[in-house]
């Protein structure tokens, strides 16, 4: 199931990353090293998931999603302005660190990766919502690619489900990224909160409703 989800996800993240890369200015000198670190550690996370029970992370992820949603809801100016906080060298160092941590998490478990990346890029790096979303898609693509390679090599992908899911993901990602680029930070902020709210409901049900 993890492999099937990852193949489906990479179709969406790849489409969104391609759309953003043509229209949003990103600091590739920081994003690419972060993506490479995420790629490597996502593979390690995917390897670890076969050894440990990733489901124990659900309550922790639920708590973090709630904290992210509350913070962004109450801080109305969060992500409105693009004001990078670090020098290029320091931004690259922190980017690699983020790639290591989030990459491993995405390979090991995954849900909420994009939301956590956006939150980090805004709160720590000082990006606006649009730039943070674009940067997050590049990192997320790297983590998904690494995990897909591992799961494909170990024959853990059900392609009959992953391919149609992936095509739908591509369509949704194309539509969402185009809307984000056209409508800007205010739209991305609202959509982000909606997505996080849905994820909170989902994991709240899985943790407490059963």
Give the pair of three-digit tokens for residue 155.
Answer: 């024959």
In this predicted structure, what is the pLDDT of residue 100? 94
Residue carrying the six token digits 């390979």:
107
Looking at residue 6, what is its pLDDT?
82
Residue 57 has pLDDT above 90, yes or no: no
> Domain range spanning residue 130?
2-208
| Calpha distance 152→26 (Å, rounded) | 31
Can you give the pLDDT at residue 108?
80
Q: Which residues contact 109 (CB under 8 A, 6 or more apart)?
A: 45, 49, 54, 57, 61
Question: Which of 13-17, 59-63, 117-121 has the least mean pLDDT?
Answer: 59-63
Q: What is the pTM of this model?
A: 0.90
Question: Mean pLDDT in the chain?
Answer: 89
pLDDT digits (tens, 9 = 90+) for 138-194: 999 998 898 888 888 888 888 999 999 999 999 999 999 999 999 999 999 999 999
Helix/strand/coil (H/E/C) assignment for every residue in the chain = CHHHHHHHHHHHHHHHHHHHHHHCCCCHHHHHHHHHHHHHHHHHHHHHHCCCCHHHHHHHHHHHHHHHHHHHHHCCCCCCCCCCCCCHHHHHHHHHHHHHHHHHHHHHCCCCHHHHHHHHHHHCCCCCHHHHHHHHHHHHHHHHHHHHHHHHHCCCCCHHHHHHHHHHHHHHHHHHHHHHHHHCHHHHHHHHHHHHHHHHHHHHHHHHCC
Q: For the chain, what is the domain count?
A: 1
Question: What per-residue confidence (pLDDT) applies to 50?
Answer: 66
Assign 3-class secondary structure to 130-149.
HHHHHHHHHHHHHHHHHHHH
pLDDT digits (tens, 9 = 90+) for 27-54: 899 999 999 999 999 888 877 876 766 6
């Amino acid at each position: 199931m993890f492999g099937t989800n990852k193949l489906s996800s990479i179709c969406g993240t790849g489409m969104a990353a391609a759309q953003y890369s043509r229209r949003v200015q990103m600091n590739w000198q920081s994003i690419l090293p972060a993506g490479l670190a995420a790629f490597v550690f996502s593979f390690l996370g995917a390897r670890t998931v076969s050894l440990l029970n990733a489901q124990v992370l659900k309550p922790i992820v639920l708590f973090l999603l709630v904290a992210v949603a509350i913070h962004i809801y109450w801080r109305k100016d969060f992500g409105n302005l693009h004001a990078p906080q670090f020098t290029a060298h320091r931004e690259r160092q922190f980017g690699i660190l983020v790639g290591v941590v989030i990459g491993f998490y995405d390979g090991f478990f995954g849900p909420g990766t994009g939301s956590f990346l956006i939150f980090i890029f805004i709160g720590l790096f000082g990006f606006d919502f649009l730039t943070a979303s674009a940067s997050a898609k590049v990192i997320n693509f790297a983590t998904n690619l690494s995990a897909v390679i591992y799961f494909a090599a170990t024959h853990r992908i059900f392609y009959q489900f992953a391919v149609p899911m992936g095509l739908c993901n591509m369509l949704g990602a194309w539509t969402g990224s185009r809307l984000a680029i056209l409508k800007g930070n205010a739209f991305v902020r609202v959509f982000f909160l909606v997505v996080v709210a849905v994820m909170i409901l989902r994991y709240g049900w899985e943790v407490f409703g059963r």
